[in-house]
Structure 1
Amino acid sequence: MKATSKRSQKLEKLRTHSFDLLVIGGGITGAGVALDAASRGLDVLLVERHDFASGTSSKSTKLIHGGLRYLKNLEIGLVREVGQERAVVHEIAPHLVRPEKMLLPLVEGGSLGKMTTSMALWVYDFLADVEGDDKRVMLTKEETAEYEPLVRTDILKGGGFYAEYRTDDARLTIENIKTAEKHGATALNYVEATEFVYDDDGQITAVICHDRFSGEHITVQTSHVISSTGPWVDELRTVDKSMTDRHVFLSKGVHIVVSRERLPLKHAVYFDVPDGRMFFAIPRLRCTYIGTTDTAYKGDPDAIPTYLEDVEYILHGTNLIFPTVNLKLEDVESSWAGVRPLIYEEGKSGAEMSRKDEIFESESGLLSIAGGKLTGYRKMAERVVDRVGKQMKEDGKKLKHTTTKDIDLTGGPFKDFAAVLAYEKEIAALLEAASLSPDRAAYLVSNYGKQSPEIIEAATHRKEGTDVGRLAAAEAAWCIEHELALYPIDWVERRSGRLYFDMPSIEPVLEEVLAVFAEAYQYTEEDTNRERERIRKAIKWVSEFEAAPEGVVVPEIVAV
């Protein structure tokens, strides 16, 4: 396989250029750091050893939300910050971060009573500066059942209705990276930072990087380094010989996906399960996804399995609150499992540990940031880049002050969400005029925003293949050119989200998509066969479930 000319040019820059800042880790935090730093005038390189957003940043609950449950732990500052950040991230990317009204049924024996919920939601709105129609509304039992007829009524006492936002975490990460590149940053996936180079004073002056695509090792010169590697942050602190007693704790979370037909919710629902946890059930285009679990994880963060026990636990809790749907194992189309990289706190379970972020600074100058929530990525990035500014100040340099809350992400801008919905109608008309299915409009706009017409235009020039195949092939080709999709699985899983949200759509377009990658990277027949098999294995990984090995922690079903 051969790299595209664009990737080759970027690699040449790594060999010959000295950067102000090297960001290690291409998840949402690293993407936010790259944009923040580039917008402040720094010459930034971001490297990710797998694909962008391949770790935690494609395995979250995919909500830009304030963390209502953190009020229980009195994490007022965290709730306030991320509550306010919801609106900011929505404003800079309303096509990606969409309003999602959340229904909170109150049930007998549940974790929240009517008065407690009313007060908690009021505080939640107050901390987040929520105004107008988005303010919380308390509901009677009858009103709650009307809002969501599938909710079990024999234990229902009432409900709350409040505002959150839904996103695609991988798409949000990728659009942040692309926006950072518009501000001058350089980003490369499948490039691993393996070793630090130090000067005589023990300060990092370069990072040895391994291009996993070509096998080449490149020594990259840089003045500053930020590690935003999530579950792997302690790995690099160990390489730097700067590990302390303060370390990361991995908490595993699993989500499952069923078709919208099997769980046809009218709204997203946040509900109690018998062991004291709460689940989200969130409608998304043709599917509904449900989660999450919270168990200690000590395995490989690169390959986090969904066990049969995880799925049965989620199904059990879901069927208790929506008894008429009677979801079964065979209804589960897909799943994802990820880990939360929390800062370890002695004597606390993963559910009890704070979601606050923390910055570690080593004597070598390495800055490592861990913890935090998807919603707070922009403020996390701002804080750690501010620390780079302090390091620069010691060298007599000054960091420019800007703020990413004023920078629209690629795919925009849109005035507001109403403009997004109007634009979906325009895209539907474009698709219909191109003899392509107009029902793909919502999917295209939620993924690509105002970049969608380029994909549709490219599809009209593809003369061979099915209608769905031509559009998918054009989409894949666009992602190779504009989003550094290096392997077909990059598109199937993270660029398009089909592996999770639209599993049935993969097989009808697979060969046409493989052909696009084969042409772009000059595949041999062996290469094509290997990539086809890689996608087959990924499908099996997320849709077939085995029992956990003995000794592995799994969630326990509580009988009621």
Structure 2
Amino acid sequence: MKPFSHTNRTHSLQQLSTARYDVIVVGGGITGTGIALDAVSRGLKTLLIEMQDFAAGTSSRSTKLVHGGLRYLKQLEVKLVADVGKERAIVYENAPHVTHPEWMLLPFYKSGTFGKLSTSFGLQVYDFLAGVKKSERRKMLSKEEVLKHEPLLNEDGLIGGGEYVEYRTDDARLTMEVAKKAHEQGADLINYTKVTGFLYDEQGKVNGVQLVDQLTGDSYTAHGTIVVNAGGPWVEQVMSLDEKVEAHKLLLTKGVHLVFDRSVLPLHQPIYFDTPDGRMIFAIPRNGKTYVGTTDTVYEADLINPKMTDEDKEYLLRAITTMFPKAFVGMNDIESTWAGVRPLIQEEGKGTSEISRKDEVWESSTGLLTIAGGKLTGYRKMAEEITNSISKKLKTQGVKVGPCVTKTLRLSGGEFNRPGDYRAYVEDRAKELTKLGLSFQDGLNIASMYGTNANQVAQLVSHVNPSSQLPLAIQLTLLYSIEYEMAMTPVDYFMRRTGAIFFDIHWVEQWKAPVISYMKEVLNWSSEQTNQYREELEARLADAKG
């Protein structure tokens, strides 16, 4: 099997015109990669194309939780809660290196949205619907117990709280591990390749796509029996290449997050709290930082690089000040930020926070399938359902299709017998990695991030450049990103392969120049390309700084 690398990308593009695919997926976010994995693991010849980098849109800009959506119980979205609640455990079983269970604290106040009885009942129903195992079922806490758990909380009007388990994730890395698993199963996945039109058969049915390589400008075509549009916020733009879109099916909303050093907002555990205007916000400690979000406002501007406004920041800062008055957090304490766009299915008469997070599938008169909506947590189930539909269509044409196997299919890097093996593995592997000259902490970081792929990372030690300014740990992760995760630009590495632009922006500033130099040599960039990628990185850093 060829590595999932820049060289493999070139090869995949060159063979497109002679290949014939059963399924072509447009969109490399969590939904698209999930469909590609489900399709290829059923034996279907599968191609995925993404106009940016994998997970460059919504799938790297979420609240980074694989969660069941407790608040949807209030909206009586019982099936949604049941489905995604059960999916949380499946994602964890298949990828414990990017999915981590944590106890979430839900405080409730006299004037708040949640009351003591309703919270207790709601969490009990949530446990039942989601099939939560006994050790992770909800606990109810007194006011004194809540403050013992989190002393920074506002005591005024505090009645008590509930505690329940949610799963913290890295959305971009989860998407990447799904993509890599699809590649391991035999799918072709190509980033930075944009659909510019569709191909049609004699009956006027879609049977392929026209493409442009965004890095070189070269044009290609690819033929496939079924084409699926999983473009996230761009699905309507993709649909408009096929046929006129009479009415907007989507409502795009923006969610923003603020990141602080843990010393500024030193929370003991994740907190889920309501605001005076009835919204729900998360405050989540992570690796020496604490991030807070999200907002939910209608968005109609730049989809590729959504911007955060001062109004967005002030809204979240007010919420933080109200909930954690002893923290004294202000505008100057913000280290970094991110903004993402959610594609929601339009619902007449409902506000942005009230609209269901369900997914929906449409089929155009030409046979183009489009899927939109949904939640990160439910990506596997969404993929299973649409691939079931694809399978029925293909079987009528004599194509042999296997059953869905993704429920128990370990993702790339997650090949553990059981999730509980992960922590011991990280410790053992970190000790082994020190033999390469890495510090124990660097070993822990690599083993925890890459899981069972840490061995592949270690094997790259023979390819490092001894004269580089970059420390060994950075060279190894950078080379792995290029050779095994198809990273093509510095932003790919700093934003989506490591998450450092969001969670360690000072580290990015420190190492950006030598990383660019290193990538220039490995990828053979021209001076013009190098300047272009440097400017792109500076622009993303400016966005993150707000």
> Deviation digits for residues 390-414 of structure 1, max 9, x if unmatched?
2223434442212201110011212
- How far the C-alpha of 1:446 sits from its partner, in A, is 3.9
RMSD of equivalent CA atoms: 1.7
| Counterpart Cα distance in 2 of 1:413 and 1:350 | 39
What's the offset of the Cα at 1:434? 3.5
**1:283 positional shift:** 1.0
Superposed, which structure 2 residues align to 1:160-179 within 5 Å?
Answer: 160-179=162-181
Alpha-carbon distance in 1 for matches of 2:317, 2:206:
49
The match for 1:449 is 451
* Counterpart-to-counterpart distance in 1, 2:327 and 2:430: 32
Distance 1:516 1:439, change over 3 A: same
**2:283 is paired with a residue of what secondary structure?**
strand
Alignment of 1:307-326 (within 5 A): 307-326=309-328
CA deviation after TM superposition for structure 1 residue 272, in Å? 1.5
Cα 1:457–1:264 shift into 2, 3 Å: farther
Note if contact 1:107-1:156 (Cα within 8 Å) is conserved in structure 2: yes
Matched residues in 1 for 2:444 and 2:355: separation?
Answer: 37
Q: Which residue of 1 aligns with 2:516?
A: 514
By how many angstroms is 1:340 displaced?
1.0
Say whether 1:463 aligns with 2:483: no
Q: Distance in 2 between matches of 1:439 and 1:511?
A: 24
Q: Which runs of 5+ in 1 are unaligned?
A: 545-560
**1:25 and 1:283 mapped to 2: Cα distance?**
31
TM-aligned CA distance change 1:183 to 1:431, over 3 Å: closer
Gaps of 5+ in 2: none
1:464 and 1:470 in contact (8 A); partners too: no
Q: Which amino acid aligns with 1:123?
A: V
Local SS of the residue matching 1:250:
strand
Residue 299 of structure 2 aligns to which amino acid in structure 1? Y
Note the 1:52-131 alignment, pairs <5 A: 52-131=54-133
- Tell me the SS of whatever aligns to 2:15: helix
Share of identical aligned residues, percent?
44
In structure 1, the residue matched to 2:260 is 258
From 484, 496, 499, the counterpart of 1:497? 499
Q: Does the Cα contact within 8 Å between 2:413 and 2:450 map onto a contact in 1?
A: yes
**Cα–Cα, structure 1 residues 138 and 528, in superposed 2: closer, same or farther, change >3 Å?**
same
Partner residue in 1 for 2:334: 332
1:383 and 1:35 map into 2 onto residues whose CA distance is: 13
CA drift at 1:516: 2.3
Q: Secondary structure at the match of 2:21?
A: strand
Distance in 2 (alpha carbons) for counterparts of 1:525 and 1:219? 30
Q: Could you tell which deviates more after superposition, 517-526 or 264-273? A: 517-526
For 1:236 and 1:442, the matched residues in 2 are separated by: 42
In 2, the alpha carbon distance for the partners of 1:465 and 1:508 equals 14
In the TM superposition, 1:169-318 aligns within 5 A as 169-241=171-243, 243-245=245-247, 247-318=249-320
1:23, 1:225 within 8 Å by CA — same for their partners in 2?
Answer: yes
Distance 1:283 1:204 in 2: 47
2:374 is matched with which residue? 372
Is the contact between residue 257 and residue 294 of structure 2 (CA under 8 Å) also seen in structure 1?
yes
Is the CA contact (8 Å cut-off) linking 1:286 and 1:502 kept in structure 2? no
Work out whether 1:424 is the aligned partner of 2:423: no
Secondary structure of 1:484 counterpart = coil
In structure 1, C-alpha distance between the alignment counterparts of 2:311 and 2:433, rounded to whole Å: 43
2:195–2:211 contact (8 Å) kept in structure 1: yes
TM-score computed with the length of structure 2 as normaliser: 0.96
CA shift at 1:182, angstroms? Answer: 1.0
* 1:180-210 residue CA offsets vs partner (Å, 9 max, x unmatched): 1111100000011110111221111221011
- The separation in 1 between residues aligned to 2:8 and 2:500, in whole angstroms, is 26
SS of corresponding position for 1:139 = strand
Asked if structure 1 preserves the Cα contact closer than 8 Å seen for 2:338 and 2:543, the reply is: no
CA shift, 1:525, in A, is 3.4
Q: Distance in 2 between matches of 1:159 and 1:274?
A: 17
Q: Secondary structure at the match of 1:197?
A: strand
Q: In the alignment, which residue of structure 2 is the partner of 1:551?
A: none
Amino acid aligned to 1:464: S
For residues 534 and 402 of structure 1, the distance between their equivalents in structure 2, rounded to whole angstroms, comes to 40
For the 8 Å contact 1:430–1:456, the answer to whether it is kept is no
Mapped to 1, the partners of 2:512 and 2:247 lie a distance apart of: 48
SS in 2 for 1:377: helix
Residue 481, structure 1, aligned to residue 497, structure 2: no
8 Å CA contact retained: 1:98, 1:417: no
CA distance in structure 2 between the partners assigned to 1:246 and 1:533 by the alignment: 34
Instruction: Please report how far the alpha carbon of residue 267 of structure 1 lies from its aligned counterpart in structure 2 after TM superposition.
Output: 0.7
1:41 aligns with 2:21: no
Q: For residue 261 of structure 1, report the CA deviation from its aligned partner.
A: 1.5
* More off after superposition, 26-35 vs 330-339: 330-339
Q: Residues 479 and 485 of structure 1 are in contact (CA less than 8 Å); yes or no, is this contact kept in structure 2?
A: yes
User: Which residue in the other structure is 2:392 paired with?
Assistant: 390
Find the residue that maps to 1:115 and give its secondary structure. Answer: helix
Instruction: Give me the whole-angstrom Cα distance separating, in 1, the residues matched to 2:179 and 2:334.
Output: 32
The aligned counterpart of 1:555 is: none
SS at match of 1:20: strand
How much has 1:68 moved relative to structure 2?
Answer: 0.2
Q: Do the aligned residues in 2 keep the contact of 1:469 with 1:513 (CA within 8 Å)?
A: no
For residues 416 and 440 of structure 1, the distance between their equivalents in structure 2, rounded to whole angstroms, comes to: 24
State whether residues 384 and 404 of structure 2, in contact with CA within 8 Å, keep that contact through their aligned partners in structure 1: no
Give per-residue Cα distances to partners, 1:294-326, cap 9 Å, x unaligned: 101111211210111111111110121111111
Contact 2:6 2:487 in 1 (8 A): no
Q: How far apart are residue 50 of structure 1 and its match?
A: 0.4
Compute the displacement of 1:431 (Å): 4.3
User: Residue 469 of structure 1 contacts residue 509 of structure 1 at CA under 8 Å; is this kept in 2?
Assistant: no
Q: CA deviation at 1:442?
A: 4.5
Aligned residue type for 1:228: A
The structural deviation recorded for 1:262 is: 1.2
Q: Which amino acid aligns with 2:415?
A: P
Between the aligned partners of 2:165 and 2:444, the Cα distance in structure 1 is 21
The alpha-carbon deviation at position 9 of structure 1 amounts to: 1.1
User: SS in structure 1 opposite 2:471?
Assistant: helix
Separation in 2, partners of 1:7, 1:34 = 16
Following the alignment from structure 1 to structure 2, what is the Cα–Cα distance between the partners of residues 403 and 456? Answer: 30
Q: Which residue of 1 aligns with 2:347?
A: 345
Match of 1:13 among 8, 12, 15: 15
Q: Answer whether contact 2:67 2:88 (CA < 8 A) is retained.
A: yes
Q: Is the CA contact (8 Å cut-off) linking 2:430 and 2:447 kept in structure 1? A: no
Moved more, 511-520 or 307-316: 511-520
- 1:407 aligns with 409
Q: TM-score, normalised by structure 1?
A: 0.93
Q: Does 1:136 align with 2:138?
A: yes
The answer to whether the 8 Å contact 2:6/2:486 transfers is no
Contact 2:307 2:543 survives alignment (8 Å)? yes
